[in-house]
Amino acid sequence: MSSIKLEPHEGSGRSKAVARKPLPVGSIIVQCQAHATVLLPEVKGHRCDTCHRISPTLQKCTGCAAYWYCSVDCQTLQWQTHHRRICKRFAKYTASLGYQALAPHEKLDALLLSHLVAQLEDINDARLATVTSLLPGPVESPAPPISCSPRIPESVVRETYARFGNNNFVIHSHLTTFGHGVFPLASRLFNHSCLPNAAAKYTLSASNVPRMDVVALRDIAQGEEICLPYLDPALLQSRQQIFQLTYGFECRCPSCLFFEKVGPIPSPPTDTIQRDELALKLTQFIKATPHDGLTLTAATVSFPNDLLPIFHESFVTYVAQTFRDASHDGPYATALSSGETLLALYRLIYPPNYPQIGMHLLELAKTYWNSIVSENMDLASESAVKQECRRYLKDAKDILEIFGVEGDEDGPLVEIETLETLLQES
Ligand SMILES: [Zn+2]
Ligand SMILES: [Zn+2]
Ligand SMILES: [Zn+2]
C-alpha cells in the first residue's frame, strides 16, 4: 500500500489510486487477499476448493461430497472460515427449486455469496463493512438463495450481493479463468481503463486462499493513476454497454475516445476473399507503421478509414477462430497469416506489454515450430522459419516476464524455455 495513495476522482463520487512514487515496469503494486472465491463447475474436483491448486489426489468432504481438498490443512482452513456453516445444508440447497432455477452464472454467484456470508459472525463483522463500503452496481437484482443460515438478515445479504456484479474478479492461472473471487481492496483501489497500466495475476500456494498481485505493465510515473481492466478490452462494441449496465459508468479512456471519434464501426465483408484482403491490408499497415505507440488512442489521427471494419467484434472473433482452428494441425499457411492478423489487432486494441499479446506471440512461435516439425522444408526455408520463431519467442518472453509467473506450475515462461532449447538443439 505504501506505493499508492487514494485521491478523489474528478467529477464522480469515486476515488482513484495514484502512484506515490515512480513504479518500475514489472513491479508488484499491491497484493490483495481473497475474501471469498468459487471454482467454475468444470474444474471442481480437479482443483482444491481452498487453495485452488491442481492436485491428482484431492480428498472429498465426506459431509457433502461436493467440496474437494488437497490437504487436511486446506480442509481445516475452509471448514473454519465457511464450510462448517454450509456442509450440512449443501445437498438440500443445490436440489432446491430456487437454486435449480438459476442460470449457470447466477449459480456461481449464489455459491460465492454463500461462501462470503457464511464467514460472517454477525452483522457487526468487519468483513461485511469492507464489502458494503464498495459502490453497489447500478441495477439492483434480487439476491439468489444461499446455502447458509438465516443468521444474517436478508437485507444484509441483498446489500452484499449488490456489490457483486461490478466488484468481483475472475481468477486465472496462465491467463485461463478457473474461478471468481471477491477482493475488496482491489475493487476499492482501482478504476477501469481499456488501456490499463496494470494487470492482476494470481498466486496459489498450499494452505492459503488465492492472492491477487497487481503488476505494473509499464513504468508508472509518480502521481499517475493506476487502472486495471474490468473486462477484456477486445469487446470493442459491447464494452460501453457493459460499463453502463453492469458498472454504471462511461469509460473515457483514450481508446474509448478514439472509437467515439470514428463513430459506428462498419461491418466487415462476409465474403471470405474480401475478408482476407482486409486482413492483409491490416498486416501491411502495421508493418509500415513503427511498433511503439501503435495502440489506438484518441491521439491517433492517421488510421485509414477503409480499415475500420477490422474493429468489428465479429472480425476479431473470426480471425481468432481461424487461428485457433489451424494453429495445431495446419494448414500452417492459414494459421500463420491469421496469427499475424490477430497480432496486429491485439497491438492496436491492447496497451503495450498486455499479457494477452505475450500469450499470442508464444502461440505464434509454437505454430512456426509445429510447421517446421510437420512440413518437409528445404534447409533455406527451415532456417528462415526458425528465425521467425525465435523473433516471436523473444517478443513473447519480453512481455510475459513483465507479467511474471502466475497460478499453476510450468506455464508460458517454462514453455518459452523449452522451445528455446528445442531451437538451439535442432
Ligand atoms: Zn489446497
Ligand atoms: Zn462438506
Ligand atoms: Zn475505455
Q: What is the pLDDT of residues 340-353, one digit of tens each?
A: 999 999 989 999 99
In the chain the domains, ranked by start, together with CATH numbers, are 35-167 (no CATH), 239-425 (1.25.40)
Q: 166 CA distance to ligand 2 centroid (A)?
A: 29
Q: What is the pLDDT of residue 294?
A: 65
Q: What is the pLDDT of residue 244?
A: 87
pLDDT band at 94 (very low <50, low <70, confident <90, very high): very high
Q: 370 CA distance to ligand 3 centroid (A)?
A: 37
Q: What would the pLDDT profile of 177-196 be if each residue is shown by its tens digit?
A: 999 999 999 999 999 999 99
Closest ligand to C-alpha of residue 259 is 3
Q: 210 CA distance to ligand 2 centroid (A)?
A: 20
Flag whether pLDDT at 211 surpasses 90. yes
The number of CA neighbours under 13 Å toward the Cβ of 39 is 20
pLDDT band at 298 (very low <50, low <70, confident <90, very high): low
pLDDT band at 107 (very low <50, low <70, confident <90, very high): very high
**Whole-angstrom distance, CA of residue 210 vs CA of residue 76:** 16
Asked whether the beta carbons of 122 and 151 are under 8 A apart, the reply is yes
Asked whether the beta carbons of 364 and 392 are under 8 A apart, the reply is yes
pLDDT band at 405 (very low <50, low <70, confident <90, very high): very high
Q: 60 CA distance to ligand 2 centroid (A)?
A: 8
pLDDT band at 301 (very low <50, low <70, confident <90, very high): low
**Whole-angstrom distance, CA of residue 158 vs CA of residue 156:** 5
Closest ligand to C-alpha of residue 54 is 1
Q: 39 CA distance to ligand 1 centroid (A)?
A: 13
What are the residues whose beta carbons fall under 8 Å from the beta carbon of 247, sequence distance 6 or more? 137, 138, 165, 166, 192, 230
Q: What is the pLDDT of residue 196?
A: 96
Q: 253 CA distance to ligand 3 centroid (A)?
A: 4
Closest ligand to C-alpha of residue 296 is 3
What residues does 4 pair with on adjacent strands? 19
Q: 152 CA distance to ligand 2 centroid (A)?
A: 21
Q: 63 CA distance to ligand 2 centroid (A)?
A: 4
Q: Which position has the higher pLDDT, 271 or 295? A: 271
CB-count exposure of residue 86 (10 Å: 0-12, 13-18, 19+): buried
Q: What would the pLDDT profile of 221-240 be if each residue is shown by its tens digit?
A: 999 999 999 999 999 889 98
Q: What would the pLDDT profile of 31-86 be if each residue is shown by its tens digit?
A: 999 999 999 999 999 999 999 999 999 999 999 999 999 999 999 999 999 999 99
Closest ligand to C-alpha of residue 235 is 3
Which 8-state DSSP code applies to residue 60?
E
Asked whether the beta carbons of 143 and 133 are under 8 A apart, the reply is no
Q: What is the pLDDT of residue 291?
A: 56
Q: What is the pLDDT of residue 57?
A: 95
Q: Which of 109-118, 316-325, 376-385, 410-419 has the lowest mean pLDDT?
A: 376-385
CB-count exposure of residue 129 (10 Å: 0-12, 13-18, 19+): exposed
Flag whether pLDDT at 293 surpasses 60. no
Closest ligand to C-alpha of residue 118 is 2
Nearest to 359 by CA among 337, 392, 329, 326: 392
Q: What is the pLDDT of residue 393?
A: 97
Q: What is the pLDDT of residue 2?
A: 81
Q: 59 CA distance to ligand 1 centroid (A)?
A: 10
Per-residue pLDDT, averaged over 288-308, amounts to: 73
Q: 300 CA distance to ligand 3 centroid (A)?
A: 15
Q: What would the pLDDT profile of 117-156 be if each residue is shown by its tens digit?
A: 999 988 888 889 888 888 888 888 888 999 987 789 999 9
Mean pLDDT of the chain: 92
Nearest to 216 by CA among 73, 403, 363: 403
Flag whether pLDDT at 306 surpasses 80. yes
Q: What is the pLDDT of residue 377?
A: 86
Q: 406 CA distance to ligand 1 centroid (A)?
A: 16
Q: 398 CA distance to ligand 3 centroid (A)?
A: 25
Q: 36 CA distance to ligand 2 centroid (A)?
A: 16
Q: 236 CA distance to ligand 3 centroid (A)?
A: 9
Q: 66 CA distance to ligand 2 centroid (A)?
A: 6
CB-count exposure of residue 91 (10 Å: 0-12, 13-18, 19+): middle
Q: How many other C-beta atoms lie within 10 A of the C-beta of residue 205? A: 11
